[in-house]
Amino acid sequence: MKEQIVICENLSKNFVVGNSEVRAVDNVSINFERGEFSSIVGPSGSGKTTLLNLVGTLEIPSEGRIIINGTDLSHFTKEQLTNFRRKNLGFVFQFFNLIEGLTAYENIELPLIFDSVPYEQRKHAVEGLIQDFKLGYLRNKFPEELSSGERQRVSIMRALVNDPIILLADEPTGNLDSKTGRTVLELFDNLNKERGTSILLVTHDLSAAKRANRTLHMHDGKITFDMKIEEMIKEGI
Ligand SMILES: Nc1ncnc2c1ncn2[C@@H]1O[C@H](COP(=O)(O)OP(=O)(O)OP(=O)(O)O)[C@@H](O)[C@H]1O
Ligand SMILES: [Mg+2]
- Looking at the predicted structure, is the pLDDT value of residue 230 above 90? no
Question: 168-222 pLDDT, tens per residue?
Answer: 999 999 999 999 999 999 999 999 999 999 999 999 888 888 889 999 999 999 9
Contact 160, 91 (CB under 8 A): no
| Angle, CA 25 vertex, CA 20 and CA 26 arms, to 5° | 90
pTM score = 0.94
- Looking at the predicted structure, is the pLDDT value of residue 118 above 70? yes
Q: In the chain, what are the domain boundaries? A: 4-235
In the prediction, which pLDDT does 116 show? 94
Residue 16 near ligand 1, beta carbon < 6 Å: no
d(CA 159, CA 220): 29
Question: 53-78 pLDDT, tens per residue?
Answer: 999 999 999 999 999 999 999 999 99
Measured from the Cα of 16, ligand 1's closest atom is 4
Question: 16-27 pLDDT, tens per residue?
Answer: 999 999 999 999
Decide if domain 4-235 falls under CATH 3.40.50.300.
Answer: yes
- List, in sequence order, every beta strand (DSSP E) within the chain: 4-17, 20-33, 37-41, 63-68, 71-72, 89-92, 166-170, 199-202, 214-219, 222-228
Of 191, 154, 185, residue with least CA distance to 172: 185
Q: If you take atom 31 of ligand 1, which residue's CA is the nearest one? A: 45
Q: If you take atom 6 of ligand 1, which residue's CA is the nearest one? A: 15
In the prediction, which pLDDT does 228 show? 83
Residue 21 near ligand 1, beta carbon < 6 Å: no
